Amino acid sequence: SGGTVQAVHVEIGQAVLKGDLLFTVGRGDLDLQLAQAQQKAGRLQQQLTHLTANVQTEIEQRRALNAKKIESLRRNIAAQSEHRDFLRVLLDDQLADLERGFVKRTDVEDTRTSLNNAEIEIAKVNAEILSDTTDLREFENQQHGTIGSSQEELAVALAEVQTLQAQVTSAEDIRSPSDGQVLELSIIVNDQINVGDELALIDLVAGATIVRGYILIADAQLVQADMPVQVALASAPPEIYGTMLGTVERVNPVPSSRAALMDIYENSDVVDLITESGPPYAIEVSLTEDPSTPTGFKWSTSQGPPVPLAVGSLASVAITYESRRPIEFVLPFINQLLN
């Protein structure tokens, strides 16, 4: 995803193994983008919370007003219905009395008109109740739609945060894709890089002379480049063939993570073995070449095994911190006695 080169961990001519840390790349403006995305998501979350509360309050108020109005309209309907029923009975009585000549036809027509008006008023009030109920339902749907739109906007913002977080996590380290030797470096500290930029040229053939070992932090503080090393291969018993000779090429300044080790070895048993005693610091050992041996490397007591080395062979590494003659330990003791 690009960024600023913060550190270059290798030099031209250095041998590297698969998974070795080559560069540390700053995340450029990803941190800023992530912070802005998080702020936006937080702001949208607050807006959604306030909107939801406001909508709920408005809906409850609207429902209360609507219920009060409908209750009044229904009382009106009840009164109109009672009056309508009275007019129906009255109209029936007047029609009977009209045949006997007890009432005038104009009185009958007036009652009929009043009955029709009552029925019209009842229908009108019922229509008003239906309209108010529909309006309330549409209002609630509109408000819920507003909340839904805010929820969708928040979901998009949260997805953006997750994407940027993944980019930030994956943009920190650039590691060697395979064993080899650094032939060319195309970047320096503070360079800006983008996806697809050429960072280094690695000769994939050069990694054969490198042995990788792992030590704990206490040893990592003592081990230095050029210290002598003896490498005992699991496939070549040292009591028969001796050990391969070499020197410390370099010590990784940071411990290897389990994820990085899995990328290199793709074997959980091997990774468990390496990490069982604590965070491991990788060291690289350059083997001393000897063309006269079958393996092409120098051995401590013999020509070594009669077959070439297999890539990926397991071995144990012994590092010599310092060398002293026995007399050097005796003399301080004698001086102490004499003093």
Which domains occur in the chain, in start order? 1-27+171-204 (2.40.50.100), 30-169 (1.10.287), 207-339 (no CATH)
Whether residue 89 is predicted with pLDDT greater than 90 in this model: the reply is yes
End-to-end CA distance of the chain: 68
Q: What percent of the chain has pLDDT over 90?
A: 41
Residue 335 has what pLDDT? 58
Q: Tell whether the model's pLDDT for residue 153 goes beyond 60.
A: yes
H or E element: which one contains 46? helix 30-100
At 151, the pLDDT band (50, 70, 90 cuts) reads very high
Across 48-65, average pLDDT: 96
Greater model confidence, 328 or 91:
91
* Tens of pLDDT, residues 193-222: 877 677 888 876 544 456 888 888 878 888
Is the four-CA dihedral 284, 286, 287, 291 of positive or negative sign?
positive
Under a CB-based contact definition with an 8 Å cutoff, are residues 37 and 160 in contact? yes
Residues 61-84: what's their mean pLDDT?
Answer: 96
Would you say residue 154 has pLDDT above 90? yes
- CA 300-303-307 angle, 5° bins: 125
**pLDDT of 319 above 50:** yes
3-state secondary structure of 220: helix
Tokens 């079958």, residue located = 294
Average pLDDT over residues 49-62: 96
Q: Tell me, what's the pLDDT at 148?
A: 94
Token pair of 165 as six digits: 């977080």
Most confident range (mean pLDDT) of 101-115, 216-230, 302-316 is 101-115
